[in-house]
C-alpha cells in the first residue's frame, strides 16, 4: 500500500485548473477537480491510501499545504499542472519535493503539450502525459514494491466499459474528500455534483480549438459506462447526498443516442432527479430527444454555438449551421429546457461585421444565460497552427486581425454581454425565474459579474 496525495495546488487567485480552459471565472465559478477525483477513486479501489486536496476550493496556502502533508507523509504526490498557471504550479511542486522528501509527479492536460521538456525543466520525479488514472496506479504499485519510477509516462489508450464501471462513483469521492458546497457554476443549481458517463475523445466533434481533445483525450476513443452503472450513481447521489440539487454530466457533449438512453433509464427508475449536460446544437438532437430529456428531469444544456458565421463554423469544424442551431434552440425552448450558450468572438478571420452577426444571432436565440469569450488558444490544437501560420497572433499570444485588433475583440466581447442582457425581450423572458429561489441563486452571480463589468 502506498500513501499518495493528489493535489490541486494553491494559487493567489481562484484558479480553475481542471477544466476545458484554465481561467479565473468572473462569475466566481469553481470547478470540481474531476479527473483528480477519478484518479483518487482508482488508487483507493486498489488498496492505496489517498488524500485528495483541493487547495483552491479550501483556500489553502502553500505553507498550510506543507503542514498538512508533512503530518500525512505521502510517498508520492500528484500535482495538477496547467499551462496558464505553469510557473506557480511548478514552484509548488518543487516546494513539495524539497520540503517533504517525497516523489512528485505532474499531471493534467498541459502535461501532454511537451512532456519531456516539462520533465527536464521542472525538476520533479515525473510527468504523466495523457489521462493519468492508470499511470498513477502503476506508479503507486511500483512504489509499494520499493521501486521509484521517474521520467515521462504516457497514456493515450483505450479504456473499456468494464474498467469504467469498476471505478468507485466519483460523487462518493467528492463526498469523502471535498466540501461539495464550495463548488459552484452559475448555470447550475447549488449545490451540484459533476460526473462523467463516458471518457475519451468525442467522435462527433473535432473542433479545432478544443484543448482536451488534443491533449488529455488525444487518441483515446470514446467509451461509455454501462447505463446501469450511471443510473446506480444517480441513485447513490439521491440516497447519500439529498441536499444536492442537480447532477451535471461532464461528458464532452452527450451524443443524442446517449441522451435518449440515459433519459429512458432515468424515467424507468422513477427517481425524479434534476440533471444538466453539454449538448451539441446539431441535427441529431431533435425535438423528440429533447422532449424525452425534459421528461427525465433534464434542466439545462450547455451549448457551444461559437459563431453565426457559416465560414467561421466551417473553419472551426463545428459540424453544424446557424439554421440547425436555431431549430435546436427553438425545440429546446418549446419543451422547456434551459440553455447556457457559449459564443466566441475573434475566431479565425473574424471581422467586426461577423462578430455583430453573432451577437444579433444570440439575441434572436434569446437563451437564459450566455457568455461571449475571446478565443483561448492552446498549444497542440490545430487552431494555434492555423493562427501562427497566418501571423494572426500578437506578441501576447492573443488573436488579432488587421481590421479587428485584439483590443477591439476584447471590447466587443465585453459589450456584447451587456447588450445581450439589457434588452426588454431578455429581461421579460427571465422574470419568471426571479420568483424561483433556486434559479435566482444560480443566475445571481452572473448578474453581479455583469454589474462589475459595467463599472469597468
Ligand atoms: S463538440 Fe465540444 S467537446 Fe467536442 S470537439 Fe467540439 S468543442 Fe470539443
DSSP codes, 33-90: -HHHHHHHHHHHHTT-EEEEEEHHHHT--HHHHHHHHHHH--SEEEEE--STTHHHHH
**Cα 33 to chain centroid, rounded:** 9
Cα 332 to middle of ligand 1, angstroms: 20
Residues 136 and 57 in one domain: yes
Q: Tell me the CA distances in angstroms from 98 to 123, 124, 130, 308, one per residue in order.
A: 10, 10, 26, 52
The answer, yes or no, to whether any atom of ligand 1 lies below 6 A from the CB of 210, is yes
**Which residue has 470514446 as its cell numbers?**
222
Residue 77 pLDDT: 98
Could you give the maximum distance between any two Cα atoms of the chain, in Å? 67
The answer, yes or no, to whether any atom of ligand 1 lies below 6 A from the CB of 358, is no
Residue 433 pLDDT: 72
Of the residues 205, 217, 324, which should be mutated to test ligand 1's pocket, given the most ligand atoms within 8 Å of the CB? 205
Cα 250 to middle of ligand 1, angstroms: 12
Reported pTM: 0.93
Cα 253 to middle of ligand 1, angstroms: 7
Could you tell me if residue 173 is inside a domain? no
The single-letter DSSP state of residue 168 is P
Ligand 1 atom index nearest CA of 317: 6
- For residue 394, give the nearest of 385, 405, 379 by alpha carbon: 405
Q: State the CATH number of the domain containing residue 381.
A: 3.20.20.70
Cα 342 to middle of ligand 1, angstroms: 12
- Which alpha helices (DSSP H) does 241-318 contain, by range? 256-269, 287-295, 310-315
Contact indicator for 33, 54 with CB cutoff of 8 Å: yes
Cα separation, 363 vs 87, whole angstroms:
40
Buried b (16+ CB within 10 A) or exposed e, 83-92: bbbbebbbeb
Residues 107 and 240 in one domain: no
Mean pLDDT for back-to-back runs of 10 residues, the chain (456 residues) = 97 84 78 96 98 96 96 96 94 96 96 95 95 96 91 90 96 98 89 94 78 86 94 98 97 93 98 96 95 98 96 94 97 97 95 97 94 91 94 92 95 92 83 71 65 56
Residues 116 and 241 in one domain: no
Ligand 1 atom index nearest CA of 278: 2
In sequence order, the 6+-apart residues with CB closer than 8 A to the CB of 97 are 103, 104, 123, 124, 125
Residues 289 and 335 in one domain: yes
Cα 207 to middle of ligand 1, angstroms: 6
Residue 22 pLDDT: 83
Residues 127 and 192 in one domain: no
Question: What long-range pairs does 84-93 form, CB within 8 A, spacing at least 24?
Answer: 84/22, 84/23, 85/11, 85/15, 85/17, 85/22, 86/110, 88/9, 88/11, 88/12, 89/9, 89/11, 89/17, 90/121, 90/122, 90/124, 92/7, 92/9, 92/10, 92/62, 92/65, 93/9, 93/122, 93/124
Ligand 1 atom index nearest CA of 210: 8
Cα 222 to middle of ligand 1, angstroms: 12
Could you tell me if residue 162 is inside a domain? no
Q: How many CA atoms lie within 13 A of 170 on its CB side?
A: 24
Could you tell me if residue 165 is inside a domain? no
Domain coverage including residue 73: 3-155
Could you tell me if residue 327 is inside a domain? yes
Residues 68 and 208 in one domain: no
The answer, yes or no, to whether any atom of ligand 1 lies below 6 A from the CB of 320, is no
Could you tell me if residue 67 is inside a domain? yes
Q: State the CATH number of the domain containing residue 42.
A: 3.40.50.280
Q: Domain total for the chain?
A: 2
Residues 298 and 386 in one domain: yes
DSSP-derived secondary structure for 202-236: -SS---TT-HHHHTTTTT-B-EEPPHHHHHHHHHH
Amino acid at each position: 500500500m502506498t500513501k499518495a496525495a493528489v493535489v490541486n495546488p494553491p494559487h493567489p487567485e481562484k484558479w480553475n485548473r481542471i477544466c476545458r480552459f484554465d481561467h479565473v471565472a468572473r462569475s466566481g465559478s469553481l470547478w470540481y477537480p474531476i479527473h483528480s477525483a477519478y484518479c483518487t477513486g482508482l488508487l483507493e479501489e486498489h488498496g492505496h491510501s489517498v488524500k485528495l486536496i483541493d487547495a483552491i476550493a479550501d483556500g489553502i496556502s502553500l505553507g498550510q499545504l506543507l503542514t498538512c502533508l508533512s503530518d500525512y507523509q505521502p510517498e508520492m504526490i500528484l500535482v495538477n499542472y496547467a499551462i496558464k498557471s505553469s510557473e506557480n504550479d511548478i514552484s509548488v511542486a518543487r516546494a513539495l519535493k524539497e520540503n517533504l522528501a517525497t516523489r512528485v509527479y505532474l499531471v493534467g492536460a498541459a502535461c501532454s503539450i511537451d512532456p519531456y521538456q516539462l520533465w527536464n525543466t521542472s525538476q520533479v520525479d515525473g510527468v504523466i502525459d495523457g489521462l493519468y488514472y492508470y499511470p498513477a496506479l502503476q506508479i503507486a504499485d511500483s512504489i509499494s514494491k520499493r521501486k521509484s519510477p521517474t521520467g515521462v509516462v504516457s497514456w493515450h489508450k483505450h479504456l473499456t466499459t468494464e474498467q469504467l464501471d469498476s471505478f468507485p462513483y466519483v460523487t462518493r469521492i467528492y463526498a469523502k474528500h471535498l466540501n461539495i458546497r464550495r463548488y459552484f457554476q452559475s448555470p447550475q443549481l447549488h449545490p451540484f455534483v459533476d460526473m462523467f458517463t463516458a471518457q475519451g475523445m468525442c467522435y462527433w466533434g473535432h473542433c479545432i480549438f478544443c484543448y482536451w481533445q488534443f491533449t488529455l483525450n488525444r487518441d483515446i476513443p470514446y467509451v461509455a459506462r454501462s447505463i446501469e452503472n450511471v443510473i446506480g450513481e444517480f441513485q447513490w447521489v439521491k440516497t447519500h447526498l439529498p441536499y444536492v440539487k442537480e447532477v451535471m454530466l461532464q461528458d464532452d457533449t452527450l451524443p443524442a443516442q446517449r441522451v435518449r438512453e440515459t433519459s429512458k433509464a432515468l424515467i424507468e427508475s422513477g427517481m425524479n432527479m434534476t440533471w444538466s449536460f453539454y449538448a451539441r446544437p446539431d441535427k441529431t438532437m431533435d425535438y423528440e430527444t429533447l422532449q424525452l430529456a425534459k421528461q427525465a428531469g433534464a434542466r439545462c444544456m450547455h451549448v457551444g454555438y461559437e459563431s453565426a458565421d457559416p465560414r467561421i463554423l466551417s473553419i472551426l469544424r463545428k459540424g453544424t449551421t446557424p439554421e440547425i442551431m436555431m431549430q435546436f434552440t427553438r425545440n429546446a425552448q418549446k419543451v422547456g429546457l434551459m440553455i447556457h450558450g457559449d459564443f466566441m468572438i475573434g475566431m479565425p478571420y473574424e471581422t467586426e461585421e461577423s462578430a455583430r452577426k453573432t451577437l444579433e444571432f444570440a439575441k434572436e436565440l434569446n437563451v437564459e444565460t450566455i457568455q461571449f469569450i475571446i478565443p483561448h488558444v492552446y498549444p497542440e490544437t490545430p487552431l494555434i497552427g492555423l493562427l501562427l501560420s497566418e501571423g494572426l497572433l500578437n506578441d501576447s499570444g492573443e488573436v488579432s486581425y488587421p481590421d479587428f485588433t485584439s483590443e477591439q475583440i476584447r471590447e466587443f466581447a465585453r459589450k456584447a454581454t451587456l447588450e445581450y442582457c439589457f434588452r426588454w425581450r431578455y429581461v421579460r423572458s427571465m422574470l419568471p425565474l426571479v420568483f424561483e429561489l433556486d434559479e435566482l441563486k444560480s443566475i445571481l452571480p452572473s448578474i453581479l459579474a455583469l454589474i462589475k463589468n459595467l463599472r469597468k
